[in-house]
Structure 1
Amino acid sequence: MTSRTTDWWHTLAVSAAPADAPAAFCADLGADSLLAAYRSGLFPMPAADEYGRWMNEALYEDRVATGAIAVPGGDGELPYQVAWWSPDPRPVLIPGQARLGRRLARRLRNRLDWSTSVDRDFGRVVSQCAAGREPRWLTEELRRSLLALHERGWAHSVEVWQGPELVGGAFGVRAGPVLSLDSMFHRRPDASRVAVADLATRFGAVGGRLLDVQWDSPHIRSLGARPVPRQDYLDLLRSGPPVGPPATDLLPAARLA
């Protein structure tokens, strides 16, 4: 059954949301709500604990009161548990423009024991992305909904293997012609860079237009990402037919070099 929140995401004026604050607060992290939010240009940042909820309220209650930050249906108890973001500008990575760098490309050509796959171990990739991270935004509830979306074919992981060992990976949610990249991890130097480059290559091969990398940072820029105006991102997200899932084959990582 579709929730009231799922319908509400489609009516939210994301393009008018604050550039540097949440677009909305809503505690509904169900799989249907989550997918509808991604398709509307939003991604969730759940509070890890009561202190996180209190900080959300302390920082943003004035903007909620003025209506600058939306709350679905004007719920009486403001659900500061989950903030939904759509930053402006939005950092994106165009398939085919992911950068490994010369040093890593040279190493990959000599690492014949490294390979990559997609959707071979989604649950473990998400768990590894959550391990030891602060703040702990990958809550159990969010992980359950991401797993449900994976089972429906909307959430995808990329795995980087050294022989039989999982040494890196990334995961995200597919929405229209965009794949929103939620998190990455590495257990060997540069394995997360290989994961992002591999996912960009595979997603581009099926017609994907962008990887949305959500938060800007020097590391993301070093991978080839660049900021674009939020409205440009939203226009592309809503344009054209959705693309299919990336290929899942186990392939040599050296092909990316």
Structure 2
Amino acid sequence: MATIPSLPSRDDVLRMARNTTDITGQLLDTAGNITRIAINTFDPRDGSGAEALRVLRETTAELAEASASPQAQEAFYRMVDTLTRLGTSGAPLAVHPVSEPAQALLAALGDSLLPVLDAVEPAVEEFATAVGDLIEATSPLLPAVAGLMAGALLAATPVIRSTAEVLRDGSPELRRMADALTSTLAPLLPLQVALAERAATAGAGVARAALSPLADLTEAAAATTQTVRPVLIAGEELLVSSLEQLQPLLLAVASRAGRLARSAAVRVSAAVAPAGERGVVVAVPA
């Protein structure tokens, strides 16, 4: 006889309602932001709507022209062919008997990771918020970083292309190397399996023997930490107060260094300026 599942508790219901309310509020905020962006973009009063439509039409025309080229069509064909090959070769793996242990492993990992994910969810949310703030603060640097990455990719493209050509020309030698490695390593695989089984058995014995001392050591470390906790808190408070006292001095030193650097830059610019521009005098406060 099947057991009747227990009803969720009041705390669970409140938590689900709170999460639903938060998600709904975030969705409404996102929809409001998207609506505001659309209104500001296509507002005909300041002329931005017509400009945005013009840029959109030009971009669409350029994309259509680029995608109609033979090179783009060849690239699309290769992408579709690659995806088709991956799907054809990977589909039998899903029903192969070898995939059953992998599915069991994934199920066990999922059951074990759910409590861990519930425990670390607040920390992950705080970390995601902090990362978002960091990205927003460093957004002025993103164009420069993107330019550097594009330059690095352009510089690496000839190397990758030449490497591919060399490997393509040397495919017979590569096949000979693969055959030699296979014939050499194939007789060693049974020995390696036996050694791995022996190592696993020995490692399991060592782990069983070390669990009890590790538990005792962890309990002792926890007790020691609880004992010296006031000392650690006092040290942290002393460090923070010292940094707070040094903050005005560091700010003054940084400001003074900035003024000196600007003064030096102005003097160097005046020294290397053409003779016709010597009538311009720039005063930098000390």
The TM-score with structure 2 as length reference comes to 0.15
User: More relative contact order in 1 or in 2 (CA 8 Å, sep 6+)?
Assistant: 1
Greater C-alpha Rg: 2
Q: By percentage of residues, which structure has more helix? A: 2
Q: By percentage of residues, which structure has more strand? A: 1
The TM-score with structure 1 as length reference comes to 0.16
